[in-house]
Each structure stands twice: as structure tokens, then as C-alpha cells.
Amino acid sequence: MHHNEILATVNMAHYFDSAFTVEQTYRFLKIKMSREDFDAALGELHKSGAVSLANDVLFARNLESLYQSKIAWSRQLFDDNRRQLRWLTRMPGVAFCGLTGANAFESCREKDDIDIFVVTSKRRLWLSYVLLVVFSKVMGKRGLFCINYLVDETRLHIPQHDYYTAIQILQMIPLIDSTLSEQIIAENQWIFDFLPNAAPSVIRDDFYLLRSARSKNQKSTLRRSLGGLFDRLNRKIYQRYVVRLSRKYPSEFGSGIRLSEGAAKLNRVNHQDVYKKIYNDIKSDVPA
């Protein structure tokens, strides 16, 4: 009854010294399974002692104390930087922000950064990125605010189709209350090929919500007249970043780092291979 797949998913979280809830474990299974069969198999694993359950969280080894500490560290990290993050979400051109990575799983180390996914206005991604970088530097948060994936509102489809990216999209926690969070999932239905048991739902947590979406007012005459100039400037910044990053990170450019005028994946680590190896190694080590 797919005991190995369940154990592998539980242990995948443990690789990062974290843990999944029962719902997350079901959500992140790579194989299709009815909820009834999942609950029955989980009950058998629990009865055998292969997993334990504490406050609806699954453990295959003794990580409960560290898991609770990581939740506290994650929330404290966010709360300590709440004011600056709220300002960041209000920067020109920023339409949506969401937490990803360890922050979205509340699995941060005691000293960690904050991973942020950003959606910008059409043809304003690179202008917005420069403003976000300058803002982070002025606030003394450049090393803390990790803005590692940006798309403009016309490029919500994520081209990297893999298990890791599917989890990141589905687990993302919105910082801005916007319908863009639902649109991101709607534009990336491929994630359910990798997560066949998951529902297309957005995580809502008022603790992390910083503002509501802005209403789209009609552009002023001045903004319309400057539109062409901003378009050219956005393209020029993009072209400069292509040259700069391709020279600075030649081995990661085109893999971990992928750039276009409407999308920027800036994380140099190609995590999809890491996640695939973790899953396969854990699964092969689990006795049938």
C-alpha cells in the first residue's frame, strides 16, 4: 500500500531537519493514492513504529524538539523584519510577493535568510529588481532578503517542470493578498503531474500577510508618456544583467540561473536534482 513512498516523503523533510504534517505528506506524495488508502497505510506504519505522530506532524526519527525550534526561529526571523518586508512589498512595480524555501515550511535555521518570490508589472521586472536590490542595500538587508525568482504578470507559467519546483509553488505563502496567488497555480497545472494528490489551494496565514493587492487605477498621462522609456530601460537593465551574470557564474548560467525579459531565476543551486536524489536515495534505502 505504498508504505515506502510515504516513508520516503516523511524522510525527505527530515533531510532538512524538518517535518511534514499528515496533510503535507499526502500532498507531496509522488504517486496517486486515495486518502482512504493513505490513512490506512499511515495507520499501519504508525502501529509498526516506523513513524510517530505528534500534534499532527509525522516523524521517522527524533526531531520533534528541533522541528519546534525551527518554527519559532522562522516566525521570529519574519517578525524581526516585518516592517522592512512590508515596505519591500510596496515598491513600484511589485504586484505580488510570496515566501518560498525554508521560510514557507517554517524550517529556518537559527540564522537564515528570507526567500522571496516576486511578481512584477508587465515589462517592469528588471526595473523593479534594481529598486528591490537598492532598497535591500539601503536597509542593510541585502544578504538577508533573498529575491531569487521574479516573473512579470504576463509570465506566470514557470518553465522548470520538476518535483522540487512543484512543491515550492504549492507551498508558497503569500505576503500580499492578491488573486495572483491563485493565478500562479492556475497557470502551472503541470505541478499536479508531480503532486497528484494535491489540491489547487493557496496557503493562507494572516501572520505573514503584509498588505492587500493594489487596485489597478487607470494610468496617468505622465506614466503613459514615459511607458516607452521605461520599456527600453527595463530591456537595457536585462541585457546588462545577462552579460554580468554569464561572466560571473558561467557554470551556473542557463541552469541554476535563467534569465529573460519577463522572468529571472537567480538561485545558483539547481535544486531539482538535489530533491530528486534525496527522494530516490531515501526510497531505495527503505525496506519493502
- Give per-residue pLDDT as tens, 197-215: 999 999 999 999 999 987 7
Write out the three cell numbers for 28: 507531496
Q: Give the least confident one: 123-127, 235-239, 283-287.
A: 283-287
Closest CA to 171 of 236, 115, 242: 115
> What does the alpha-carbon distance between residue 12 and residue 45 come to, in Å, rounded to a whole number?
16
DSSP codes of every residue in 60-108? SSS-HHHHHHHHHHHHHHHHHTHHHHHHHHTSTTEEEEEE-HHHHTT--
Domains of the chain by residue range: 3-66+274-285
Average pLDDT of the chain is 91
pLDDT tens digit sequence for 39-95: 999 999 999 999 999 999 999 999 999 999 999 999 999 999 999 999 999 999 999
* pLDDT score, position 144: 97
Residue 222's pLDDT is 47
- Residue 98 CA to residue 85 CA, distance in Å, equals 11
pLDDT tens digits for range 220-242: 554 665 678 999 999 999 999 99
| pTM exceeds 0.85, yes or no | yes
Q: 275 pLDDT exceeds 90? A: no
Task: Convert the pLDDT of each residue in 159-199 to its tens digit.
Answer: 989 888 999 999 999 999 999 999 999 999 999 999 999 99
CATH architecture classification, 3-66+274-285: Orthogonal Bundle (1.10)
Q: What is the pLDDT of residue 217?
A: 62
Range scoring the smallest mean pLDDT among 10-24, 88-102, 130-144: 10-24
Burial class from Cβ neighbours inside 10 Å (0-12, 13-18, 19+) for residue 61 reads: exposed
pLDDT for 280: 72
Residues in contact with 89: Cβ distance below 8 Å, sequence separation at least 6, in sequence order: 97, 175, 176, 210, 211
Q: Name residue 173's amino acid.
A: I
Does the structure show a pLDDT above 50 at 118? yes
